[in-house]
Protein backbone atom coordinates (compact mmCIF):
# COMPACT_ATOMS: atom_id res chain seq x y z
CA UNK A 1 0.00 0.00 0.00
CA UNK A 2 2.98 2.29 0.60
CA UNK A 3 3.70 2.46 -3.13
CA UNK A 4 0.08 3.30 -3.84
CA UNK A 5 -0.22 5.79 -0.98
CA UNK A 6 2.22 8.19 -2.60
CA UNK A 7 -0.18 8.50 -5.54
CA UNK A 8 -3.09 9.27 -3.23
CA UNK A 9 -0.93 12.03 -1.76
CA UNK A 10 0.03 13.21 -5.21
CA UNK A 11 -3.55 13.72 -6.36
CA UNK A 12 -4.38 15.32 -3.01
CA UNK A 13 -1.73 17.95 -3.75
CA UNK A 14 -3.40 19.02 -6.98
CA UNK A 15 -5.51 22.16 -6.68
CA UNK A 16 -8.94 21.51 -8.15
CA UNK A 17 -9.04 17.80 -7.29
CA UNK A 18 -11.20 17.20 -4.24
CA UNK A 19 -13.17 14.17 -3.11
CA UNK A 20 -15.63 14.26 -6.04
CA UNK A 21 -13.00 14.52 -8.77
CA UNK A 22 -10.80 12.03 -6.98
CA UNK A 23 -13.65 9.51 -7.26
CA UNK A 24 -13.92 10.34 -10.97
CA UNK A 25 -10.24 9.47 -11.39
CA UNK A 26 -10.63 6.25 -9.40
CA UNK A 27 -13.61 5.09 -11.40
CA UNK A 28 -11.98 5.87 -14.77
CA UNK A 29 -8.55 4.39 -14.11
CA UNK A 30 -7.93 0.88 -12.82
CA UNK A 31 -4.89 1.94 -10.82
CA UNK A 32 -3.77 5.27 -9.34
CA UNK A 33 -0.18 4.69 -10.44
CA UNK A 34 -1.41 4.40 -14.03
CA UNK A 35 -3.56 7.47 -13.55
CA UNK A 36 -0.64 9.54 -12.29
CA UNK A 37 1.31 8.94 -15.52
CA UNK A 38 -1.68 9.13 -17.88
CA UNK A 39 -1.82 11.65 -20.75
CA UNK A 40 -3.90 14.81 -20.48
CA UNK A 41 -6.57 13.46 -22.83
CA UNK A 42 -7.34 10.62 -20.43
CA UNK A 43 -8.09 13.07 -17.65
CA UNK A 44 -10.41 15.02 -19.93
CA UNK A 45 -12.20 11.75 -20.70
CA UNK A 46 -12.45 11.10 -16.95
CA UNK A 47 -14.35 14.38 -16.62
CA UNK A 48 -11.71 16.66 -15.10
CA UNK A 49 -11.83 20.36 -16.09
CA UNK A 50 -8.93 21.88 -17.97
CA UNK A 51 -7.63 23.88 -15.01
CA UNK A 52 -7.36 20.79 -12.80
CA UNK A 53 -5.61 18.88 -15.61
CA UNK A 54 -3.14 21.72 -16.11
CA UNK A 55 -2.42 21.82 -12.38
CA UNK A 56 -1.88 18.07 -12.34
CA UNK A 57 0.49 18.03 -15.29
CA UNK A 58 2.50 20.90 -13.81
CA UNK A 59 2.77 19.28 -10.39
CA UNK A 60 3.85 15.85 -11.54
CA UNK A 61 6.71 17.40 -13.50
CA UNK A 62 7.91 19.16 -10.35
CA UNK A 63 7.62 16.53 -7.61
CA UNK A 64 9.23 13.25 -6.63
CA UNK A 65 6.31 11.51 -4.87
CA UNK A 66 8.46 8.93 -3.11
CA UNK A 67 10.72 11.59 -1.67
CA UNK A 68 7.79 13.81 -0.74
CA UNK A 69 6.04 10.97 1.11
CA UNK A 70 9.23 10.11 3.00
CA UNK A 71 9.55 13.75 4.08
CA UNK A 72 6.06 13.60 5.58
CA UNK A 73 6.87 10.45 7.54
CA UNK A 74 10.12 11.98 8.79
CA UNK A 75 8.05 14.72 10.42
CA UNK A 76 6.10 12.12 12.41
CA UNK A 77 2.92 12.71 10.42
CA UNK A 78 0.71 9.77 9.46
CA UNK A 79 -1.14 9.67 6.16
CA UNK A 80 -4.42 7.74 6.00
CA UNK A 81 -6.37 7.03 2.83
CA UNK A 82 -9.86 5.67 2.36
CA UNK A 83 -8.27 2.28 1.72
CA UNK A 84 -6.47 2.16 5.07
CA UNK A 85 -7.86 0.13 7.97
CA UNK A 86 -7.08 2.97 10.37
CA UNK A 87 -9.17 5.51 8.46
CA UNK A 88 -12.02 6.62 10.81
CA UNK A 89 -15.12 4.51 10.17
CA UNK A 90 -17.62 7.29 10.84
CA UNK A 91 -15.82 9.64 8.46
CA UNK A 92 -15.78 6.96 5.77
CA UNK A 93 -19.58 6.77 5.93
CA UNK A 94 -20.26 10.35 4.83
CA UNK A 95 -20.64 11.74 1.33
CA UNK A 96 -17.45 13.33 0.06
CA UNK A 97 -15.19 11.61 2.57
CA UNK A 98 -11.72 13.12 2.20
CA UNK A 99 -9.60 10.65 0.19
CA UNK A 100 -6.54 11.52 2.27
CA UNK A 101 -6.16 12.80 5.82
CA UNK A 102 -2.95 13.83 7.55
CA UNK A 103 -2.65 12.97 11.24
CA UNK A 104 -0.44 14.29 14.04
CA UNK A 105 -1.00 12.20 17.13
CA UNK A 106 -2.99 8.99 17.15
CA UNK A 107 -6.47 7.98 16.07
CA UNK A 108 -7.80 4.90 17.87
CA UNK A 109 -10.91 2.74 17.55
CA UNK A 110 -12.37 4.27 20.70
CA UNK A 111 -12.61 7.58 18.84
CA UNK A 112 -15.71 6.18 17.15
CA UNK A 113 -17.41 7.33 20.35
CA UNK A 114 -16.98 11.00 19.53
CA UNK A 115 -19.10 14.11 19.87
CA UNK A 116 -18.32 17.45 18.21
CA UNK A 117 -18.59 20.72 20.08
CA UNK A 118 -18.53 23.98 18.15
CA UNK A 119 -19.58 27.56 18.56
CA UNK A 120 -18.74 31.22 18.36
CA UNK A 121 -15.27 32.67 18.83
CA UNK A 122 -16.80 35.49 20.92
CA UNK A 123 -18.23 33.22 23.59
CA UNK A 124 -20.10 34.73 26.53
CA UNK A 125 -19.51 33.87 30.18
CA UNK A 126 -22.60 31.65 30.00
CA UNK A 127 -21.24 29.87 26.92
CA UNK A 128 -17.86 29.41 28.57
CA UNK A 129 -19.46 27.67 31.53
CA UNK A 130 -21.59 25.43 29.32
CA UNK A 131 -18.63 24.50 27.10
CA UNK A 132 -16.55 23.68 30.17
CA UNK A 133 -19.24 21.60 31.85
CA UNK A 134 -20.33 19.68 28.76
CA UNK A 135 -16.84 18.86 27.47
CA UNK A 136 -15.73 17.82 30.96
CA UNK A 137 -18.78 15.56 31.29
CA UNK A 138 -18.38 13.96 27.86
CA UNK A 139 -14.66 13.30 28.32
CA UNK A 140 -15.32 11.93 31.78
CA UNK A 141 -17.77 9.44 30.29
CA UNK A 142 -15.31 8.12 27.71
CA UNK A 143 -16.34 10.20 24.70
CA UNK A 144 -13.79 11.84 22.43
CA UNK A 145 -14.45 15.56 21.97
CA UNK A 146 -14.01 16.88 18.41
CA UNK A 147 -13.65 20.53 17.47
CA UNK A 148 -11.73 22.92 15.25
CA UNK A 149 -9.04 24.51 17.49
CA UNK A 150 -10.52 27.97 16.88
CA UNK A 151 -10.75 30.67 19.51
CA UNK A 152 -13.76 30.59 21.81
CA UNK A 153 -15.91 27.47 22.13
CA UNK A 154 -13.54 25.24 20.13
CA UNK A 155 -10.56 25.94 22.36
CA UNK A 156 -12.65 25.50 25.51
CA UNK A 157 -13.92 22.14 24.26
CA UNK A 158 -10.37 20.86 23.70
CA UNK A 159 -8.96 22.32 26.90
CA UNK A 160 -11.56 20.92 29.26
CA UNK A 161 -11.64 17.51 27.58
CA UNK A 162 -7.90 17.30 28.24
CA UNK A 163 -8.26 18.55 31.82
CA UNK A 164 -10.81 15.79 32.40
CA UNK A 165 -8.26 13.21 31.26
CA UNK A 166 -10.10 12.52 28.00
CA UNK A 167 -9.24 12.40 24.33
CA UNK A 168 -9.85 15.17 21.85
CA UNK A 169 -9.43 15.66 18.09
CA UNK A 170 -8.82 18.99 16.36
CA UNK A 171 -9.69 19.36 12.67
CA UNK A 172 -7.78 22.15 10.96
CA UNK A 173 -8.51 24.38 7.99
CA UNK A 174 -4.78 24.37 7.25
CA UNK A 175 -2.02 21.79 7.03
CA UNK A 176 -1.38 19.91 10.27
CA UNK A 177 1.99 21.63 10.40
CA UNK A 178 0.39 25.09 10.35
CA UNK A 179 -1.31 25.77 13.69
CA UNK A 180 -3.95 28.49 13.63
CA UNK A 181 -4.48 30.58 15.60
CA UNK A 182 -0.77 30.66 16.56
CA UNK A 183 -1.50 31.21 20.25
CA UNK A 184 -2.96 27.68 20.34
CA UNK A 185 0.35 25.95 19.58
CA UNK A 186 0.75 24.77 23.17
CA UNK A 187 -2.83 23.48 23.17
CA UNK A 188 -2.19 21.77 19.84
CA UNK A 189 0.80 19.93 21.29
CA UNK A 190 -1.30 18.74 24.23
CA UNK A 191 -3.92 17.48 21.77
CA UNK A 192 -1.26 15.57 19.80
CA UNK A 193 -0.22 13.83 23.04
CA UNK A 194 -3.81 12.93 24.01
CA UNK A 195 -5.62 12.56 20.72
CA UNK A 196 -4.95 13.88 17.24
CA UNK A 197 -4.76 16.89 14.98
CA UNK A 198 -6.00 16.09 11.50
CA UNK A 199 -6.57 17.81 8.17
CA UNK A 200 -7.30 16.86 4.60
CA UNK A 201 -5.21 19.79 3.40
CA UNK A 202 -1.60 19.12 2.33
CA UNK A 203 1.27 20.17 4.58
CA UNK A 204 2.06 23.84 4.39
CA UNK A 205 -1.50 24.88 3.51
CA UNK A 206 -2.22 28.26 5.08
CA UNK A 207 -5.46 28.95 7.01
CA UNK A 208 -7.35 30.78 4.28
CA UNK A 209 -11.00 31.61 4.90
CA UNK A 210 -12.25 29.38 2.09
CA UNK A 211 -10.71 26.32 3.77
CA UNK A 212 -12.87 26.36 6.88
CA UNK A 213 -16.43 25.62 5.63
CA UNK A 214 -15.31 22.40 3.85
CA UNK A 215 -13.32 21.21 6.87
CA UNK A 216 -16.49 21.46 9.00
CA UNK A 217 -17.87 18.37 7.23
CA UNK A 218 -14.96 16.45 8.78
CA UNK A 219 -15.71 17.73 12.29
CA UNK A 220 -19.30 16.47 12.04
CA UNK A 221 -18.29 13.41 10.02
CA UNK A 222 -16.00 12.15 12.77
CA UNK A 223 -18.80 12.49 15.33
CA UNK A 224 -21.96 10.74 16.37
CA UNK A 225 -23.49 14.13 17.16
CA UNK A 226 -22.68 17.83 17.00
CA UNK A 227 -23.30 20.24 19.87
CA UNK A 228 -23.58 23.94 19.10
CA UNK A 229 -22.96 25.95 22.28
CA UNK A 230 -23.38 29.51 21.01
CA UNK A 231 -23.65 30.77 17.45
CA UNK A 232 -24.76 33.88 15.68
CA UNK A 233 -27.08 33.71 12.70
CA UNK A 234 -24.16 33.51 10.26
CA UNK A 235 -21.77 31.47 12.38
CA UNK A 236 -19.54 28.79 10.90
CA UNK A 237 -20.82 26.52 13.66
CA UNK A 238 -24.16 26.43 11.85
CA UNK A 239 -22.38 25.11 8.76
CA UNK A 240 -21.10 22.23 10.89
CA UNK A 241 -24.63 21.60 12.17
CA UNK A 242 -25.97 21.54 8.61
CA UNK A 243 -23.31 19.03 7.60
CA UNK A 244 -24.32 16.87 10.58
CA UNK A 245 -27.93 16.89 9.38
CA UNK A 246 -26.90 15.88 5.86
CA UNK A 247 -24.78 13.08 7.31
CA UNK A 248 -27.68 11.70 9.36
CA UNK A 249 -26.06 12.60 12.66
CA UNK A 250 -27.79 14.19 15.64
CA UNK A 251 -27.61 17.91 16.44
CA UNK A 252 -27.84 19.48 19.89
CA UNK A 253 -28.10 23.21 20.54
CA UNK A 254 -27.74 25.03 23.85
CA UNK A 255 -30.74 27.33 24.51
CA UNK A 256 -29.75 30.92 25.17
CA UNK A 257 -31.00 34.40 25.91
CA UNK A 258 -33.34 35.45 23.10
CA UNK A 259 -31.83 38.94 23.25
CA UNK A 260 -28.25 37.71 22.84
CA UNK A 261 -26.78 37.75 19.29
CA UNK A 262 -24.68 34.65 20.03
CA UNK A 263 -27.80 32.65 20.92
CA UNK A 264 -29.82 33.44 17.80
CA UNK A 265 -28.26 30.62 15.83
CA UNK A 266 -28.71 28.00 18.54
CA UNK A 267 -32.28 29.05 19.33
CA UNK A 268 -33.10 28.85 15.64
CA UNK A 269 -31.65 25.33 15.45
CA UNK A 270 -33.95 24.27 18.27
CA UNK A 271 -36.91 25.78 16.42
CA UNK A 272 -35.92 23.68 13.41
CA UNK A 273 -35.86 20.45 15.40
CA UNK A 274 -32.44 20.14 17.01
CA UNK A 275 -32.33 18.72 20.51
CA UNK A 276 -32.30 21.41 23.19
CA UNK A 277 -29.30 20.57 25.35
CA UNK A 278 -30.32 21.31 28.92
CA UNK A 279 -28.04 18.72 30.53
CA UNK A 280 -24.90 16.90 29.31
CA UNK A 281 -26.69 13.67 30.17
CA UNK A 282 -29.06 14.41 27.27
CA UNK A 283 -26.29 13.47 24.84
CA UNK A 284 -25.76 10.05 26.39
CA UNK A 285 -29.48 9.40 26.58
CA UNK A 286 -30.30 10.38 23.00
CA UNK A 287 -27.34 8.48 21.56
CA UNK A 288 -27.85 5.55 23.94
CA UNK A 289 -24.24 5.82 25.10
CA UNK A 290 -24.71 5.30 28.82
CA UNK A 291 -22.40 2.26 28.70
CA UNK A 292 -19.53 3.65 26.61
CA UNK A 293 -16.74 2.28 28.79
CA UNK A 294 -18.36 -1.15 28.97
CA UNK A 295 -18.66 -1.27 25.18
CA UNK A 296 -15.04 -0.18 24.75
CA UNK A 297 -13.89 -2.89 27.12
CA UNK A 298 -15.97 -5.50 25.32
CA UNK A 299 -14.47 -4.49 21.98
CA UNK A 300 -10.99 -5.00 23.38
CA UNK A 301 -11.72 -8.31 25.10
CA UNK A 302 -13.90 -9.77 22.34
CA UNK A 303 -12.21 -9.17 18.97
CA UNK A 304 -14.05 -9.84 15.72
CA UNK A 305 -13.74 -13.26 14.08
CA UNK A 306 -14.93 -14.87 10.86
CA UNK A 307 -18.40 -15.52 12.32
CA UNK A 308 -18.91 -11.87 13.21
CA UNK A 309 -17.58 -10.85 9.82
CA UNK A 310 -20.04 -13.13 8.04
CA UNK A 311 -22.98 -11.80 10.07
CA UNK A 312 -22.17 -8.10 9.79
CA UNK A 313 -21.71 -8.48 6.03
CA UNK A 314 -25.35 -9.40 5.45
CA UNK A 315 -27.04 -7.04 7.90
CA UNK A 316 -28.63 -4.05 6.23
CA UNK A 317 -30.83 -1.02 6.96
CA UNK A 318 -33.85 -3.25 7.60
CA UNK A 319 -33.87 -5.66 10.56
CA UNK A 320 -33.13 -9.29 9.66
CA UNK A 321 -34.57 -12.33 11.45
CA UNK A 322 -32.08 -14.70 13.04
CA UNK A 323 -33.36 -17.58 10.88
CA UNK A 324 -32.56 -15.58 7.75
CA UNK A 325 -29.10 -14.80 9.12
CA UNK A 326 -28.48 -18.52 9.65
CA UNK A 327 -29.73 -19.34 6.17
CA UNK A 328 -27.60 -16.72 4.43
CA UNK A 329 -24.41 -17.40 6.41
CA UNK A 330 -24.77 -21.18 6.49
CA UNK A 331 -24.03 -21.13 10.23
CA UNK A 332 -25.90 -22.96 12.97
CA UNK A 333 -28.42 -21.06 15.06
CA UNK A 334 -26.34 -21.76 18.18
CA UNK A 335 -23.26 -20.15 16.64
CA UNK A 336 -25.19 -17.20 15.24
CA UNK A 337 -27.05 -16.60 18.49
CA UNK A 338 -23.84 -16.63 20.52
CA UNK A 339 -22.13 -14.28 18.08
CA UNK A 340 -25.08 -11.86 18.04
CA UNK A 341 -25.01 -11.67 21.83
CA UNK A 342 -21.35 -10.67 21.75
CA UNK A 343 -21.87 -8.25 18.87
CA UNK A 344 -24.71 -6.55 20.68
CA UNK A 345 -22.53 -6.09 23.75
CA UNK A 346 -19.81 -4.60 21.53
CA UNK A 347 -22.25 -2.15 20.02
CA UNK A 348 -22.06 -3.65 16.53
CA UNK A 349 -25.69 -4.78 16.22
CA UNK A 350 -28.99 -4.02 17.85
CA UNK A 351 -31.80 -6.42 18.73
CA UNK A 352 -35.01 -4.69 17.65
CA UNK A 353 -37.41 -7.37 18.88
CA UNK A 354 -38.87 -10.55 17.44
CA UNK A 355 -35.39 -12.08 17.04
CA UNK A 356 -34.58 -9.46 14.41
CA UNK A 357 -31.26 -7.63 14.27
CA UNK A 358 -29.86 -4.58 12.51
CA UNK A 359 -26.53 -2.78 12.58
CA UNK A 360 -26.43 -0.03 15.20
CA UNK A 361 -25.20 2.68 12.82
CA UNK A 362 -28.13 2.24 10.42
CA UNK A 363 -30.61 2.27 13.25
CA UNK A 364 -29.16 5.50 14.64
CA UNK A 365 -29.10 7.09 11.20
CA UNK A 366 -32.76 6.34 10.63
CA UNK A 367 -33.73 8.04 13.86
CA UNK A 368 -31.69 11.11 12.94
CA UNK A 369 -34.08 12.01 10.10
CA UNK A 370 -36.60 13.24 12.65
CA UNK A 371 -34.37 16.05 13.85
CA UNK A 372 -32.41 18.93 12.39
Domain edge (last residue) among 237, 254, 287: 287
Query: Does pLDDT of 234 surpass 90?
Result: no
220, part of any domain: yes
Q: Using CA atoms, how far apart are residues 367 and 67, in angstroms rounded to an integer?
A: 47
Q: Using CA atoms, how far apart are residues 67 and 31, in angstroms rounded to an integer?
A: 21
Query: Does pLDDT of 293 surpass 80?
Result: no
166, part of any domain: yes
Residue 341 binned pLDDT confidence (cut-offs 50, 70, 90): confident
pLDDT at 183: 97
Query: Does pLDDT of 365 surpass 60?
Result: no
Do 120 and 217 fall into the same domain?
yes
360, part of any domain: yes
pLDDT at 354: 85
pLDDT at 362: 36
Q: Would strands 356-359 and 320-321 be described as parallel, antiparallel, or unpaired?
A: antiparallel
In this prediction, residues 78-107 reach a mean pLDDT of 94
Do 62 and 26 fall into the same domain?
yes
Most confident of 43-47, 300-304, 343-347: 43-47
pLDDT at 284: 92
Residues of the domain holding 320: 302-368
Least confident of 56-65, 132-141, 306-315, 354-363: 354-363
Do 344 and 258 fall into the same domain?
no
Stronger pLDDT, 163 or 370, i.e. the higher one: 163
pTM of the model: 0.79
Residue 300 binned pLDDT confidence (cut-offs 50, 70, 90): low
181, part of any domain: yes
Do 177 and 260 fall into the same domain?
yes
pLDDT at 304: 60
Do 130 and 196 fall into the same domain?
yes
Q: Using CA atoms, how far apart are residues 92 and 83, in angstroms rounded to an integer?
A: 10
87, part of any domain: no
What CATH number should be reported for the domain holding residue 357? Answer: 1.10.10.10
Question: What is the average pLDDT value for the chain, to the nearest integer?
Answer: 90
Q: Percentage of residues in the chain with pLDDT exceeding 90? A: 75
Question: In total, how many domains does the chain have?
Answer: 3
Residue 184 binned pLDDT confidence (cut-offs 50, 70, 90): very high
96, part of any domain: no
Do 208 and 267 fall into the same domain?
yes
Stronger pLDDT, 342 or 131, i.e. the higher one: 131
Domain edge (last residue) among 287, 316, 345: 287
Domain edge (last residue) among 74, 97, 132: 74
Amino acid sequence: MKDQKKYWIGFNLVKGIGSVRFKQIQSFFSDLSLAWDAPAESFHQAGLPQKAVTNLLTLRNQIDLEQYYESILEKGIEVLTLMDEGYPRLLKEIDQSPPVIYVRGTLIQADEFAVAMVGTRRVSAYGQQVARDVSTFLAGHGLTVVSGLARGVDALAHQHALKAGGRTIAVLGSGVDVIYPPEHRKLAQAIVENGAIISDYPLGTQPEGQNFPPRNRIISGLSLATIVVEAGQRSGALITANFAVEQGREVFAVPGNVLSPVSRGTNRLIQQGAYALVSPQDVLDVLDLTQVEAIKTARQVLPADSTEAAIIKILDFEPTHIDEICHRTGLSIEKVSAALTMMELKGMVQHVGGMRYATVREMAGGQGDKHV
